[in-house]
């Protein structure tokens, strides 16, 4: 029998471990708009635990994902009409601990779910059942697919026009979303070049099938591309911006496609941008019949469920490596608890991570059973 918790009758309910859900929790809140994450965001210790409505799930978060765009969100760059205070964090994986009556048609207490929704940097998040993704278990690897994996999959499918033998350049290739761009391009039988900032990252990239790695700290990316790929590259999956954007643009082959999924180099600047030499853009594109396409996941939500289903199957079959970085190698150790989100964001912007940065939210259960 499925346990049903009808929220319309009871404001106090039990979670599946038999312990009361607390009335208050910790969460991160944007209290001031700033591209400096530590200035913008406050850890609130005693926020009320939200109650799920009729079609909602209350999820106890076990793992939350860090994204480069967390900084854009805390700077108010996505929606100018939203004023602080507002919740932050885009994705989480956890257990359903309570749910509304109609949500119980598809979900049950104790079920593992993942979701993409603002407000994941909290101990508990209310998630509409329609937006939740049921999982076989609570594993951080599933979190890597929610934003990072889906971004790589949909952008390459819709905009990349990948086919056998094409040359694909992935910038920040060992990062959260780069790791998937590399693997998916390889699955399409492309020749994949990945830029990264250390030999350790280069080793990881080779292990997931990257044909040529370029450590931009020790090699000149432009010279390598000019020498090894004189005809240019067919597709660039670009997330850095600034000088790397210019370099990628110049490296395009005839009919080449540059897909912009971000420009992390500029996010910490007051304007959110780093200058590019765009004046000659029309001439460069015309000369090569090339194109520059932007990709923002929110505009492709109609493709999202299909993409995620496909990625989950690939992972479960063992066809996809989902590398998670818990910050074990960072100076203060593993990212544990909401207070470590600040360190995790710093770690990302220092370019230290291999794979997707994930923060674990440990939970102590005071079981009454």
Q: What share of the chain is helix, strand, coil (3-state, %, to 5)?
A: 30, 25, 45
pLDDT of 42 above 70: yes
pLDDT at 5: 54
pLDDT for 18 beyond 80: no
Supply the mean pLDDT for the chain.
93
The sign of the torsion formed by the CA atoms of 304, 306, 310, 312 equals positive
Tell me what percent of the residues of the chain surpass a pLDDT of 90. Answer: 85
- How far from chain centre, in Å, is Cα 161? 23
Q: What is the pLDDT of residue 21?
A: 84
Q: How many CB atoms lie within 10 A of CB 227?
A: 9
CA angle 59, 65, 68 (to 5 degrees): 140
pLDDT per residue as tens digits for the range 299-339: 999 999 999 999 999 999 999 999 999 999 999 999 999 99
For residue 19, pLDDT over 90 is answered with: no
Q: What pLDDT band is residue 129 in, cutting at 50, 70 and 90?
A: very high
Q: How confident is the model at residue 79 (pLDDT cuts 50, 70, 90)?
A: confident
Give the per-residue pLDDT at 80.
Answer: 85
Nearest to 96 by CA among 218, 201, 182, 13: 13
Distance CA 155, CA 152 (A): 5
Q: How many whole angstroms separate alpha carbon 329 and alpha carbon 334? A: 7
Domain architecture of the chain: domains with CATH: 14-138+323-360 (3.90.180.10), 146-299 (3.40.50.720)
* Distance between start and end Cα atoms, the chain: 19
| pLDDT of amino acid 310 | 97
Beta-carbon contacts of residue 105 (< 8 Å; ≥ 6 apart): none
* pLDDT one-digit tens code per residue, 255-278: 999 999 999 999 999 999 899 998
Confidence of residue 101 (pLDDT cuts 50, 70, 90): confident
CA of 312: how far to CAs of 40, 107, 142, 187, 305, in Å? Answer: 34, 19, 8, 15, 10
Omega before 85 within 30 of 0, i.e. cis:
yes
Overall size of the chain counted in residues: 369
* Residues 215-250 pLDDT 10s: 999 999 999 999 999 999 999 999 999 999 999 999
Residue 10: its pLDDT value, please?
45
pLDDT at 23: 86
DSSP 8-class letter at 75: T
Running DSSP on this structure, what letter comes out for residue 50?
A: P
Mean of the pLDDT values across residues 4-20? 49
Q: Which of 87, 8, 9 is nearest to 48 (CA)?
A: 87
- pLDDT band for position 368 (cuts 50, 70, 90): very low
Give the C-alpha distances (Å, rounded to integers) separating 13 from 82, 132, 205: 32, 21, 47
Phi, psi of 301 (to 5 degrees): -65, -20
What pTM was computed for the model?
0.93
| Residue-wise DSSP of 289-356 | T-EEEE--GGGGGGGHHHHHHHHHHHHHHT-----EE--TTSTT-S-BSGGGHHHHHHHHHTT--SSE
CA–CA distance from 115 to each of 133, 135, 147, 275 (Å)?
Answer: 6, 10, 9, 35
Answer for the pair 126, 98: CB distance below 8 angstroms, yes or no. Answer: no
CA distance readout (Å), 99 to 52, 122, 366, 367: 6, 17, 21, 20
């Amino acid at each position: 029998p499925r346990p049903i918790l009808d929220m319309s009758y009871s404001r106090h309910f039990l979670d599946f471990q038999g312990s009361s859900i607390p009335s208050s929790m910790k969460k991160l809140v944007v209290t001031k708009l700033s591209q400096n994450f530590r200035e913008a965001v406050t850890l609130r210790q005693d926020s009320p635990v939200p109650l799920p409505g009729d079609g909602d799930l209350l999820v106890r978060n076990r793992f939350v994902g860090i994204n480069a765009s967390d900084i854009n969100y805390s700077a108010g760059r996505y929606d100018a009409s939203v004023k602080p205070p507002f919740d932050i964090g885009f994705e989480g994986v956890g257990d359903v601990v309570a749910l509304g009556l109609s949500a119980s048609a598809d979900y049950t207490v104790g079920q593992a779910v993942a979701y993409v929704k603002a407000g994941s940097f909290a101990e508990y998040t209310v998630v509409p059942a329609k937006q939740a993704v049921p999982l076989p278990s609570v594993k951080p690897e599933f979190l890597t697919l929610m934003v990072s994996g889906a971004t790589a999959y949909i952008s390459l499918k819709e905009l990349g026009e990948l086919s056998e033998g094409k040359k694909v350049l992935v910038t920040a290739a060992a990062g959260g979303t780069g790791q998937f761009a590399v693997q998916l391009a390889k699955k399409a039988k492309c020749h994949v070049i990945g830029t990264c900032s250390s030999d350790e990252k280069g080793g990881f990239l080779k292990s997931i099938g990257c044909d040529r790695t370029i450590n931009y700290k020790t090699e000149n990316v432009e010279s390598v591309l000019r020498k090894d790929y004189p005809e240019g590259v067919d597709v660039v999956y670009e997330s850095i911006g600034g000088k790397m954007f210019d370099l990628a643009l110049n490296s395009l082959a005839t009919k080449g496609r540059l897909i912009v999924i971000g420009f992390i180099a500029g996010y910490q600047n007051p304007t959110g941008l780093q200058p590019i030499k765009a004046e000659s853009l029309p001439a460069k594109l015309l000369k090569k019949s090339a194109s520059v396409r932007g990709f923002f996941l929110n505009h492709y939500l109609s493709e999202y469920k299909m993409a995620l289903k496909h990625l989950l199957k690939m992972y479960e079959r063992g066809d996809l490596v989902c590398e998670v970085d818990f910050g074990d190698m960072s100076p203060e150790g593993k990212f544990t608890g909401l207070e470590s989100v600040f360190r995790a964001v710093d770690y990302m912007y220092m370019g230290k991570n291999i794979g997707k940065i994930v923060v674990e939210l440990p939970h102590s259960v005071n079981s009454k059973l």
